[in-house]
Amino acid sequence: MNLRRIATAAAFSALACLTPSAFAGDEPFALKDGDRVVFYGDSITEQRLYTLYTEAYVVTRFPTLNVAFVHSGVGGDRVGGGWAGPIDLRLTRDVLPYKPTVMTIMLGMNDGSYRAFDKKIFDVYEKGYRHIVTTMKEKAPGLRLTLVVPSPFDDVTRKPNFEGGYNAVLTRYGEFVRELAKQEGANVADLNTPVVEATKKAFQSDPELAQKINPDRVHPAPAGQLLMAAALLKSWHAPALVSKVEIDVEDAGNFDEDDVANAKVTELSSKDGVLVWTQTDAALPMPIDLKDPATALAIRSSHVVDSLDKQILQVKGLDSDRYTLNIDGKQVGEFNRSELAGGVNLATLETPMLAQSKHVLDLLRRHNDLHFTRWRNIQMPASDLNADTLKTALAAIDALEADLVLKARAAAAPVSHKFELKPKK
Q: Please state the domain extents for the chain.
A: 28-239
Determine the pLDDT at residue 251: 74
Determine the pLDDT at residue 27: 87
Determine the pLDDT at residue 2: 29
CA distances (Å), 398 to each of 74, 131, 404, 407, 409, in order?
Answer: 20, 30, 10, 14, 17
The fold for domain 28-239 equals Rossmann fold (3.40.50)
Per residue of the chain (425 residues), what is the pLDDT tens digit? 222 332 333 344 344 444 554 444 568 999 999 999 999 999 999 999 999 999 999 999 999 999 999 999 999 999 999 999 999 999 999 999 999 999 999 999 999 999 999 999 999 999 999 999 999 999 999 999 999 999 999 999 999 999 999 999 999 999 999 999 999 999 999 999 999 999 999 999 999 999 999 999 999 999 999 999 999 999 999 999 999 999 999 876 666 677 899 999 999 999 999 999 999 999 999 999 999 999 999 999 999 999 999 999 999 999 999 999 999 999 999 999 999 999 999 999 999 999 999 999 999 999 999 999 999 999 999 989 999 999 999 999 999 999 999 999 999 999 999 999 999 98
Determine the pLDDT at residue 25: 53
Determine the pLDDT at residue 4: 31
Q: Report the distance separating Cα 287 and Cα 355, nearest Å.
A: 8
Model's pTM, two decimal places? Answer: 0.93
